[in-house]
Amino acid sequence: MAPIGIRDRWDSLIRLDRKLLAASAILLLPMPSSICAAPSVSEAMQSVQYLVGTWSCAHTVGDFSGTYVMSFAKGLDERWLRQTWDFPATATEPAVHSEYFLGYDPRLPGWVRFGAHTNGQYYAMRTTSTGNERWSWQYVLPGTSGSVTWTKKSDTEYAVDGPEYPQNGKLVTEHHLCKKLP
């Protein structure tokens, strides 16, 4: 084999420089803001306005099933949604009212939800993944075990699956289906 000449080395360096220049140019191109940045709080809140209103929900937990009413309203200068739940009394439990706040934190970036119930229960959650139709939530209080998936079926219907926990000696999973009232 003949040794590589100066001209061949020079041509190789120029080709390498062109490839590096092209790769650098691609990296320096501005990216669409939807790829680079999390939405602002107001952009995120706008995306969930379909929730505002009153919902009729049916749920099952193990062998139990029932219905309840839930509502979402704008709250705290429209930076949060205020969510209320009203569970009717059952044969073994008194009626339960709960209040939650649902908001977007661009620092995560993700959704957070905090609330308490008249029976003394309280919960805090954050999303671990979000999409247009499905949000995955992880409990952060009172403990970090447990997860929930919200699935948007339409602007007037969504489902909630989870959490899973032991009840009366067996493992149960909550299932909720909510339909917006006119």
Higher pLDDT, 14 or 110: 110
Residue 166, burial from CB neighbour count under 10 angstroms (0-12, 13-18, 19+): exposed
Instruction: Look at residues 141, 116, 134 and name the one whose alpha carbon lies nearest to residue 126.
Output: 141
CB atoms within 10 A of CB 37: 12
pLDDT of residue 13: 46
User: Beta strand pairing status for 96-105 and 80-87?
Assistant: antiparallel
101 CB-near residues (< 8 Å, 6+ apart): 75, 76, 80, 81, 82, 83, 113, 114, 115
Mean pLDDT of 117-122: 96
Mean pLDDT of 4-11: 57
Q: Could you identify the residue written with the tokens 């044969």?
A: 91
**For residue 35, pLDDT beyond 70:** no
Higher pLDDT, 20 or 136: 136
Instruction: Look at residues 158, 101, 152, 107 and name the one whose alpha carbon lies nearest to residue 124.
Output: 101
Confidence band for 7, pLDDT divided at 50, 70 and 90: low
Mean pLDDT of 106-111: 93
Mean pLDDT of 52-75: 96
pLDDT of residue 3: 55
**For residue 92, pLDDT beyond 80:** yes
**For residue 132, pLDDT beyond 90:** no
Q: Which two tokens stand for residue 105?
A: 């934190």
Domain boundaries defined on the chain: 6-30, 41-180
pTM of the model: 0.76
CA distance 10 to 100: 68
pLDDT of residue 10: 47
**For residue 143, pLDDT beyond 70:** yes
Domain 41-180 listed as CATH 2.40.30.10: no
